[in-house]
């Protein structure tokens, strides 16, 4: 029986992971569940799954959770903060760590899991975007096993040769990342400035958290995926292309030099890549309905309009610049998206805040965690200053 820690258990990925595990309770034991501030939801999960550990990133929320669990007579160790997250990510008894915390907060606990040599199911983009070379070096140094959960990266993983999951020496020409285009693929450009958070969070195909939904609407989500793909599969920027595919049925493709193109298809449901990675190379039932191509009938593809989606170009530029540029990009984006969700800036200001931050903060060689965290903090301050001009 495999023992698992779920970082971000109350997120969409965390909930879907528990849904898959529920179908295979004879194969998995939940050791630890974590959340940020959602005490009610994590308490309900603890009541159902009886983990040995529960962690709240927020200390006040941890106190509330501990009180709630004692009322239910549940003997569960409650921890808090990044220390608690890192502890349950590196427990000796844990085999698998689902890294599903949204944003930069996932970096340190995921690195703790890497250094403990775990099988890591990486649903978080920011850990690799912030610290790509350092992160991948640690994976190799500590013998961790890294399996991608993003539907696009999981699709690429499945389309590469078994046993060698990089593009090097495999006859790969290009990686083709598909993008739905989000809710504003055909929205009038002149009206983008009036978009509300509710509109931006209404993704046509996927059920996701608010931050990721906004990233999808700006196409920054795809930009972060391009950077993540470059690290996961040792691909050069020019080897990664993005193509619009509104139906979200083909999750990504790998093009080979002989003209072959391999694609992974499936209904837009995160339980498919989660199930794939939980027991890879073995396949298990995910609970996702089988794909009915006759019902779908049509698959469409379009080129990307970078005028509509400037965040994607910013991500390519940051990846090409190297060093801490992608760390700066990610930090500025998190601050800008948060400000948009709070209605402090318009939707169209998100790429402007990111561009301003990248222009004001010079990139450095990202060879230590201290440098990466310093760049992250500096970028957040500069982005916040840019946002203050809108208020």
- pLDDT tens-digit series, residues 69-95: 999 999 999 999 999 999 999 999 999
User: What does the alpha-carbon distance between residue 261 and residue 239 come to, in Å, rounded to a whole number?
Assistant: 14
Q: Does the structure show a pLDDT above 80 at 267?
A: yes
Q: Percent of the chain beyond pLDDT 90?
A: 84
Q: Tell me how far CA of residue 61 lies from CA of 40, 43, 54, 103, in angstroms.
A: 10, 11, 11, 19
Residue 339 burial by Cβ neighbours in a 10 Å radius (0-12, 13-18, 19+): buried
Q: Does the structure show a pLDDT above 70 at 207?
A: no
Q: Does the structure show a pLDDT above 90 at 204?
A: no
The pLDDT score that the predictor gives to residue 307 is: 87
Phi, psi of 128 (to 5 degrees): -80, -35
- pLDDT tens-digit series, residues 124-183: 988 999 999 999 999 999 999 999 999 999 999 999 987 667 787 789 999 999 998 888
- pLDDT tens-digit series, residues 305-343: 888 999 999 999 999 999 999 999 999 999 999 999 999
Q: Does the structure show a pLDDT above 90 at 277?
A: yes
Strands 250-256 and 261-265 come out as: antiparallel
Residue 102's pLDDT band, with cuts at 50, 70 and 90, is confident
Tell me if residue 188 falls in helix, strand or coil. coil
The H or E element that residue 79 is part of is strand 77-80
User: What does the alpha-carbon distance between residue 227 and residue 296 come to, in Å, rounded to a whole number?
Assistant: 31
- Tell me the domains of the chain and their CATH numbers: 2-124 (3.40.50.720), 157-388 (1.10.1740.10)
Looking at residues 42-47, what average pLDDT do you find? 97
- pLDDT tens-digit series, residues 358-384: 999 999 999 999 999 999 999 999 999
Looking at residues 249-275, what average pLDDT do you find? 96
The pLDDT score that the predictor gives to residue 245 is: 95
The pLDDT score that the predictor gives to residue 209 is: 78
* Entry pTM: 0.91
């Amino acid at each position: 029986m495999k023992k698992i820690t779920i970082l971000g258990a109350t997120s969409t990925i965390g909930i879907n992971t528990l849904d898959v595990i529920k179908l295979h309770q004879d194969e998995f034991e939940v050791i630890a569940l974590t959340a940020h501030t959602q005490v009610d939801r994590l308490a309900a999960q603890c009541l159902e799954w009886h983990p040995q550990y529960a962690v709240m990133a927020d200390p006040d929320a941890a106190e509330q959770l501990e009180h709630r669990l004692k009322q239910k007579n549940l003997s569960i160790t409650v921890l808090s903060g990044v220390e608690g997250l890192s502890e349950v990510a590196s427990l000796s008894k844990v085999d698998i760590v689902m890294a599903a915390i949204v944003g930069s907060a996932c970096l340190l606990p995921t690195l703790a899991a890497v250094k403990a040599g775990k099988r890591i199911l990486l649903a978080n983009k920011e850990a690799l975007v912030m610290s790509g070379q350092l992160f991948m070096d640690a994976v190799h140094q500590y013998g961790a096993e890294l399996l991608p959960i993003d539907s696009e990266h999981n699709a690429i993983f499945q389309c590469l040769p078994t046993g060698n999951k990089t593009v090097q020496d495999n006859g790969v020409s290009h990686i083709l990342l598909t993008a739905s285009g989000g809710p504003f693929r055909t929205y009038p450009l002149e009206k983008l400035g009036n978009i509300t958070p509710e509109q931006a969070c209404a993704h046509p195909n996927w059920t996701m958290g608010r931050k990721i939904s906004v990233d999808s609407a700006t196409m920054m989500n795809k930009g972060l995926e391009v950077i993540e793909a470059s690290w996961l599969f040792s691909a050069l920027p020019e080897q990664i292309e993005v193509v619009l595919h509104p139906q979200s049925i083909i999750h990504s493709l790998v093009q080979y030099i002989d003209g072959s193109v391999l694609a992974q298809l499936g209904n837009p449901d995160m339980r498919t890549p989660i199930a794939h990675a939980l027991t890879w190379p073995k396949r298990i039932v995910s609970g996702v309905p089988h794909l009915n191509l006759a019902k779908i009938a049509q698959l469409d593809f379009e080129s990307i309009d970078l005028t509509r989606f400037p965040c994607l170009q910013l991500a390519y530029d940051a990846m090409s610049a190297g060093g801490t540029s992608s760390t700066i990009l990610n930090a500025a984006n998190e601050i800008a998206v948060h400000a948009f969700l709070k209605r402090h800036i318009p939707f169209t200001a998100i790429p402007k805040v990111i561009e301003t931050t990248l222009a004001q903060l010079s990139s450095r060689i990202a060879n230590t965690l201290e440098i990466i965290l310093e760049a992250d903090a500096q970028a957040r301050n500069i982005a916040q200053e840019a946002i203050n001009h809108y208020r």
